[in-house]
Structure 1
Amino acid sequence: MQLSTTWLHQLPLTAIHDVQPVGGGDINAAFSLVSAQTRYFLKVQPDRGGAFFDHEIDGLNRLGAVVTTPKVMASGTINQDGYLLLSWLTTGHGSQAALGQAVATVHQQTAPKFGLDTDYRLGKIPKINTWQADWATFYVQQRLDVLVQLAKSNHHWSAERDDHYQRLRTKILNTPHFHTVKPSLLHGDLWSGNISFTAAGTPVLLDPDVFYGDREMDLAMTTIFGCFDADFYDGYQSVYPFEPGMQSRLPMYQLYYLLAHLNLFGESYGPAVDRILALY
């Protein structure tokens, strides 16, 4: 995507003199933008309007109250394109232990119930966030069932997968832990691409998909694609120790993210989904 001069002049900035495309993932167009000697990170969602970024802004504000995140500078709609203007992050290297402590601090932020004030349906994976008092109900009905139904619609499901899934579903609903969980603020997409460090070494959390749920769901995501080492988990536990039996529950949460990838990227993730389902 190229941004015209006319488009850029509608941003709430003056004296824009350098705009360069940068890597921003597979969802948004992303740019480095310099205005009056200040550098910004600009995300643009073509033809989707500014509401596309409302959920991310809410997440950055919630996380940013307790850890470092990019600062939201402005957002809105230009020519039907949604945009989000963030402070620029000059990156460096930092401690995995400090990162673990930062994530644990996020998880210590609580709510009376599980969910969030609003659903998020503008992305490819819908997030149904209706508040629930019971985590098992929330996780099964508003996370797993949604992705299973989507997999059926996308022709990525089978009778065998469904047999295993129904057994897993019953196990979650009948396991006491899932009915005694305390709601924690979750990043929601905690993989290596969504963490960084400032030049001074401070951990930074990026691109949140927040809601209040079981903190083990975030921790499960850290185990899928690597990057988080033993220092991360030691740092985390120095602030917020794990609950007994967590390792046995992680596959039930890994499944959610693998189902999301199955729906987004296709059957290349089928074997990973099947390995989890085969446990049940």
Structure 2
Amino acid sequence: INSRIMARFQSILCGLLLSSALRRSSSSSSSSAVVAAFTFTFQPKPCAKESMTSLGTHARSAPFATATRPGHTLRMSAAEAAPQTYMEALSLAASESLGRTVELVPTSGGGFSGGGGASTSAVLDKATDTRYFVKAARGEFDMLRAEYEGVKAMSEANAIQVPTPIAFGEFESTAFVIFEYLEFCGGGSQFELGQQLAKMHRKVSDQGFGFVVDNTIGATFQPNLPWKQDWAEFWDEQRLGHMLKLTDNVGFSDDKIQKLRAKTKQLLSHNPPPSLIHGDLWGGNKGFCKKDGKPVPVIFDPATYYGDREADIAMTYVFGGFSGDFYDGYNSEWPLPEGHEKRRVIYELYHILNHEVLFGGGYANQARGMIDRIMNL
């Protein structure tokens, strides 16, 4: 239990420190980051075909990375431009993405440690005085690769502000993601936050339910592959069933769990579209940042996949932090369908089971109570 508590504490602390770092590292310049979303592909296979484990294996076996963006391709071998330091690796990755020479240097104060050995810091482009935000972790290639892919997908939806990912890479055993730097601020409209989240949810996948890579929910592995065409089947196998296995059925018999899974599949037969969702939308993963002199909604630290949009809304109720204006804004853009109140407990159960995995303690009792509620629906 102690190790579970520490793991979850580190996961939450990392998210809080990330938000704090963005707020602390306020820029004295009003210049905005020039960003270009790109795909940092590694040989020999594309990431969409790989699991988190195999992605790491292929990336580390490659002599160097290939960065691609529309109309521009740069290929460098290790002999041509092998970085000698961590900052050189960051600079090279940013240069490949932006299509120009970038020399990044640490800002005053440097970075700080986050959960699970992760660190966050701001860096500065010497030529333009543009700040970027870097998240790095030793030995966590798969986790950061998945975060890069998730934030990239949300950025490409062009619906709500996210820290646009600039580059992803690895130097020796330290993986890193370079993000657009955002200046966080107070205030902002939760109504607008709800509206923009609904707009992001309108981005759907023609591959069905899942995502291009497996990722994590907090510190817990979250399987997104293989893609599924049936939502109830996806939730049963890759969400509920997965968490029940990790929690030893929270003490219930196999017979009761089989009945729960059958009941859940019945309740999830409403055929939702496969919407792009944040996946871990609690209050600590949203905020407001300055854009053109005014506060705009921003979301970050996702566990992204294509699923039922109701799962995102359900998570907002688990720990609070979202006002009535948020839900009004969401429904003004895309009203939730009939029956969403009944289904909410199913999606909330997933996160409570995850807290049991990470924390232990009283979450098992809470999960058992929720299971009983589902069985009585």
- Structure 2 length-normalised TM: 0.66
For the pair 1:116 / 2:211, whether they are aligned, the reply is yes
| Whole-Å separation in 2 of the counterparts to 1:88 and 1:241 | 33
**Residue matched to 1:80:** 173
Q: Is the contact between residue 125 and residue 260 of structure 1 (CA under 8 Å) also seen in structure 2?
A: no
Q: Residue 8 of structure 1 is aligned with which of 81, 87, 97?
A: 87
Give the Cα separation in 2 of the matches to 1:238 and 1:121. 31
Change (3 A) 1:116 1:218: same
Whether 1:203 and 2:293 are equivalent positions in the alignment is no
Structure 1's unaligned 5+ residue stretches are none
Matched with 1:149 is 245
- Cα distance between partner residues in 1 of 2:168 and 2:372: 45
For the residue of structure 1 that corresponds to 2:197, the secondary structure is: helix
Residue of 192, 196, 203 corresponding to 1:98 = 192
Measure the CA separation in 2 of the matches of 1:41 and 1:164.
47
Gap change, CA 1:121 and 1:197, over 3 Å in 2: closer
Tell me the SS of whatever aligns to 1:60: helix
Is 1:52 aligned to residue 143 of structure 2? yes
Greater mean alpha carbon deviation, residues 249-258 or residues 122-131: 122-131
Question: Which secondary structure state, in structure 2, belongs to the residue aligned with residue 178 of structure 1?
Answer: coil
2:124 to 28, 34, 48: 34
* 1:273 has 2:373 as partner: no
1:184 aligned to 275, 279, 288, which one?
275
Distance change in 2, residues 1:15/1:209 (3 Å)? closer
Match of 1:168 in 2: 260
* Preserved contact between residue 250 and residue 367 of structure 2 (Cα < 8 Å): no
3-state DSSP of counterpart to 2:346: helix
Alignment TM-score, normalising by the size of structure 1? 0.87
Note closer, same or farther for the CA distance 1:83–1:213 as it changes in structure 2 (3 Å cut).
Answer: same
Moved more, 205-214 or 164-173: 164-173
Q: Could you tell me how far 1:274 is from its partner in structure 2?
A: 2.2
User: Within 2, Cα distance between the matches of 1:232 and 1:163?
Assistant: 40
Provide the secondary structure at the position in 2 that maps to 1:45.
strand
Q: Secondary structure at the match of 2:166?
A: strand
- Rounded to whole Å, the distance in 1 between the matches of 2:171 and 2:238 is 33
User: Partner letter of residue 125 of structure 1?
Assistant: F
Offset at residue 118 of structure 1 (A): 3.1
Which of these two proteins has the greater Rg computed from alpha carbons? 2
1:124 Cα offset (Å): 2.9
Question: Who is 2:48 aligned against?
Answer: none
Whether the 8 Å contact between 2:220 and 2:354 is mirrored in structure 1 is no
Alignment partner of 1:232 out of 326, 349, 358: 326
Relative to structure 1, the CA distance from residue 81 to residue 169 in structure 2 (aligned partners, 3 Å threshold; closer, same or farther) is same
SS in 1 for 2:318: coil
